[in-house]
Amino acid sequence: MGLTDRAFGQEQVQQAKNAYDYAVEQLEIGMRQEHVNGIEYSDAQQQLEQAIMELEKVERIANIENRDEFNRLRRQLTELQHQMITTPH
């Protein structure tokens, strides 16, 4: 990956991690059966979906080592996304 591609990749990883943290927070609130703000919960799910799509783009241009990292992070996001869908909130 070139320098701009690397910077783009790093930015996508950071955005993905931020989306993951936000989604975990929303999921935990929902699991505690507290008043759940449906808008925030939906927003967290949308951020996860966007992060997954962006990581898929980055994976295509990444070298093998970075591709593995992006793939692992994308799988984590996908698992969390599934958990958010299947967990009553």
What predicted TM-score, i.e. pTM, was given to this entire model? 0.78
CA–CA separation, 20 and 67 (whole Å): 19
* Spans of all domains in the chain: 3-86
* DSSP per-residue string spanning 66-80: HHHHHHHHHHHHHHH
Rounded to 10 deg, the angle between the 38-61 and 64-86 helix axes is 160
* Residues 8-52: tens digit of each pLDDT: 788 888 999 999 999 999 888 877 765 667 788 899 999 999 999
CA–CA separation, 56 and 48 (whole Å): 12
CA 64 to chain centre: 21
